[in-house]
Structure 1
Amino acid sequence: MRKVFIASAKRTAVSPINGAFRNLEISDLAAPVFSALTDNLGLAGDQIDQVIMGNALYGGGNPARVAALAADFPESLPAMTIDTQCCSGLDAILLGASMIRSGVADVVIAGGVESYSRAPRRFQRAKTPNGVDQEYERPPFTPWPDRDPDMLEAAAALAKTGSMSRVQQEEFAIESHRKALINKENNAAEIVSVAGVQSDSASRNLSHKLCSRLPVIAGDNEFGLTSATVALKADAAAAVLLVSETALLKLDKTPAKPVELVAGLSLGSDPEQPALAPIFGVRQLLKDRAIEVPQIKVLEVMEAFAVQAMECLSQTGLDLAAFNVGGGALARGHPIGASGAINAVRLFHQLQSCSAGSYGLATIAAAGGLSSTLLLQR
């Protein structure tokens, strides 16, 4: 099996729904990221073998192909879009890595893109000629309605059964925002300016006083979720440049230190407890690779819900000091199909300042009880 490296990693800023990116199509978000990746390495479009992007809300078509053409890549370059909901961006990277390992490709751009602002409205056709088409917010994630919970309600139930109080969740969110604000200037190397936006805009000085005034949106007053403890819907794109060892040696320039993509794992678990899925993925991947928790120097764990990340840390024993050092999705927002790729981009850049041999891990959950986990090594 051939080795796989990330030679470059870029993303847009994350903008809340109906914010600065509200009028941009997803190709407008992804194309500048593609161009930045190739320009960063002096790579021509005809040197790329495949483009793979994750997306959850587009409603069909192949937006990866549209974005590749918008980036002026050759018409001969194939591109594919995958949908595993929140795992999509990270799964695209794992798929690209598998293509390189198997020898099918040497250079792959992979990541995710999402626009809540421009997501199409979706309708289920009526079953009878005189019936009315029904608009829906989300498709089913299991074939069993009684085992396909609303994500908010599932997270609220998890908070209650795990005794994660509203106050504890709020403290977790406050810390995420605090870290994001402190490290905001350190994100410049990873962010591509789009529409003049060069930094994440949702981070703020969140306080206990403000959190206490927010209404509960799911669950009860003691353990319930609020807008502070649930990641905002958002727009963004992120991607990495995956290369084989042979391709890496041929690059004209490598401004960043290449990072090896050591392993990845996509795993399914109980669809009624989707927030717990990363716990099993992390445990399995570390076991498969014989990696001990103290060896993980940098962590990027998705914060779709405060309680989700809290449970992942608690049940895996991952080091809080290494966790989301620049803040997480609670402080940025959650552009579903792009979120896993954003975590991978952030992991790559954080490993740049780590010593050789250091490991970094990213993990994310998705509706239906899915998780994707990525292991990198500097």
Structure 2
Amino acid sequence: MTAPVLVAARRTPIGTAGRGFARHTVDALAAPVLAAVAEAVAPAGLGIDDVVLGNCMGPGGDVARVAALRAGLGTHVPGVTVDRQCGSGLDAVMQAASRVRAGDAALVIAGGAESASTAPHRHWPDSGARYPRAPFAPAGFPDPDMGPAADRLATLRGISRARQDAWAARSHARAIAAQAAGVFDAELVAVDGVARDDRPRAAMDLGRLARFRPAFAEADDPVAGRGAGTVTAGNSCGFSDGAAAMAVTSERIARSLGLPALRVRAAAVAAGDPALPGLGAAPAARAALTRAGIAPHELGFVELTEAFAAQVLAVSDEVGLDEELISGDGGAIALGHPWGASGAVLLVRLAARMLDDDDARPGLAACSIGGGQGIAMIVERVA
């Protein structure tokens, strides 16, 4: 009964950068979700031991503490911010789960938040250069942006443009169907009148996707060649704003609250070639599956960050996943990819899918991360 469990998983709608949340700072996005989760677990009568939030492109400082104060959790509630780039939100939950398992905390709110709209550019004083992101790796190592790296991965693994476009069309179609059926409603926390995900488009079918030009064709890739490319804006995610969080506590406390819960069965991080960051989720997923003592075919649910169709398909091929199980209600290609929040969004989606289904098989959430890292978690329903 001391095993860590996830309850009250919530998220904001995901907004396309520069649109509905254009003026919302990252703490302004996180605060409503933290408040909603705190309200859901308040009947336990416990203090919140900590708030752990992932964030990778924000203003600096301790976003978690600022957001906790803004959420009205009280000056006595601490907060700490985690940066594992696109895996930050999942890592935050992993850290919270470890503390609950160890007995160092009884109730932690964990997740992630990102505002692409208000993320600052970075200035390097020695060169005067400005960049939208910090380095993924030091000088002497490959440090590609994720788009060109996804293009190279697609070439190396023989993932065609047609297969990528088909995946993107699937993502939009499933997200639109889920949105129309109200599938997302229970997990969403409206923020200043924004109550729906902004990005899913019914018109993103194969015909429309075929019109997109390769987004990175100008890159001189040693494998793909100059002017080659299969990754487009259509089969990639969008820059996005959003937040997601959940309470991490013990199974005993979850039962006392009467809340449906997911037990954290195993988790893992991994690292590999910085030149192929899109493949990072594969070794992390394999490690988590091994720790859980299960094989890929025993999974019932899978959520992978759809930063690019190419990398989702490469990871699926590498691990031997059933593609039909991945992102059953659409993923980041349709919904958006709020970097530091995305790992937590995967867990919110897993919770919604698993707790609303009679299938008792476990679920996998996994992210590939800039710089060649990966992170994964296996969860299962608490009976």
Q: What TM-score do the two structures reach when normalised by structure 1? A: 0.94
2:8 is paired with a residue of what secondary structure?
Answer: strand
1:158-169 alignment runs, 5 A limit: 158-169=153-164
Structure 2 counterpart of 1:129: none
Q: Is the 8 A contact 1:260 1:377 kept in 2?
A: yes
1:152 is paired with a residue of what secondary structure?
Answer: helix
Q: Is the 8 A contact 2:54 2:88 kept in 1?
A: yes
Distance 1:125 1:94 in 2: 35
Structure 2 counterpart of 1:351: 354
Q: In the alignment, which of 171, 177, 184 is matched to residue 176 of structure 1?
A: 171
1:287 is paired with a residue of what secondary structure?
Answer: helix
Q: In the alignment, which of 198, 208, 211 is matched to residue 213 of structure 1?
A: 211
Gaps of 5+ in 2: 218-225
Structure 2 counterpart of 1:335: 338
Distance 2:157 2:251 in 1: 45
Select between 2-11 and 352-361 the one with higher mean Cα deviation: 352-361
1:1-378 alignment runs, 5 A limit: 2-43=2-43, 47-126=47-126, 133-184=128-179, 185-205=182-202, 206-219=204-217, 223-251=229-257, 253-254=258-259, 257-355=260-358, 357-378=360-381
Select between 11-20 and 263-272 the one with higher mean Cα deviation: 263-272
Q: Is the 8 A contact 1:26 1:114 kept in 2?
A: yes
Percent identity over paired residues: 35
CA drift of 1:263 comes to 1.3
CA drift of 1:288 comes to 2.2
Structure 1 counterpart of 2:220: none
Q: Is the 8 A contact 1:163 1:223 kept in 2?
A: no
Amino acid of the residue matched to residue 260 of structure 1? R
CA deviations on 1:287-339 (whole Å, 9 max, x unpaired) are: 22211222211110111010000111112111122111100100011110000
Q: Is the 8 A contact 2:2 2:252 kept in 1?
A: no
Q: Is the 8 A contact 1:54 1:88 kept in 2?
A: yes
Amino acid of the residue matched to residue 166 of structure 2? E
Report the aligned-residue RMSD.
1.7
Q: Is the 8 A contact 1:299 1:347 kept in 2?
A: yes
CA drift of 1:46 comes to 6.0
Distance 2:59 2:67 in 1: 15
Q: Give the total of aligned pairs.
A: 370
1:371 is paired with a residue of what secondary structure?
Answer: strand
Amino acid of the residue matched to residue 353 of structure 1? D
Q: Is the 8 A contact 1:20 1:195 kept in 2?
A: no
Q: Is the 8 A contact 2:7 2:247 kept in 1?
A: yes
Distance 1:319 1:148 in 2: 31
Q: What TM-score do the two structures reach when normalised by structure 2? A: 0.92
2:246 is paired with a residue of what secondary structure?
Answer: strand
Distance 2:135 2:233 in 1: 24
1:280 is paired with a residue of what secondary structure?
Answer: helix
Q: Is the 8 A contact 1:359 1:376 kept in 2?
A: yes
Q: Is the 8 A contact 2:49 2:78 kept in 1?
A: yes
Amino acid of the residue matched to residue 237 of structure 1? A
CA deviations on 1:68-95 (whole Å, 9 max, x unpaired) are: 0011112111100011110100000000
Gaps of 5+ in 1: 127-131
Change (3 A) 1:161 1:69: same
Select between 49-58 and 277-286 the one with higher mean Cα deviation: 277-286
2:192 is paired with a residue of what secondary structure?
Answer: coil
Q: Is the 8 A contact 1:166 1:222 kept in 2?
A: no
